[in-house]
A and B are shown apart, each in its own frame.
Chain A
Amino acid sequence: DTGVSQDPRHKITKRGQNVTFRCDPISEHNRLYWYRQTLGQGPEFLTYFQNEAQLEKSRLLSDRFSAERPKGSFSTLEIQRTEQGDSAMYLCASSLGGAYNEQFFGPGTRLTVL
């Protein structure tokens, strides 16, 4: 247990539905990251927060995706109008920042879109 929690751990939804995932980082970490991982691939960066500010979004994050981190604590990732191609593991990580980029990952949320 790294101290980063994600909820739910598994989500099955039908195409076209909206889904929302939650990430609770380690409390003193000011940086929070979302990654997506498909089968056989390494995690791919989606977006990054420093405190409550979303500082970058990957081109992988289409306009159907939105992430928030109100008050710089937990974060949510919402996918609207899900597509089968959205099926993946969604990973959240947090870090203290600073010179070294040691990120602590949560267990992930596995999304299956039918």
Chain B
Amino acid sequence: QSVLTQPPSVSGAPGQRVTISCTGSSSNIGADYGVHWYQLLPGTAPRLLIYGNTNRPSGVPDRFSGSKSGASASLAITGLQAEDEADYYCQSYDSRLSGWVFGGGTKLTVL
């Protein structure tokens, strides 16, 4: 059981918008620790998509955006493309565990 909760899967058609939620608690996201998002494609190293809740590293398309409210965060992907089909993970710091925690991961399927 992951400390951060994500839906196991989401799906959408090309061009559509999907969101992936990440629910935490008062010892991590709710304690105002930043949320980071990663994309995992098979056979490749994970890629940082969003850091500090809402910031995009250079090179990440603006189709990807992040938000946070209370003890939850979300990753939104607009204009869905076939290449977006991947696993997505959220990450934050947990003060009770004194370490980094990940969500269980969400598999995005582009229909």
A pairs with B = no
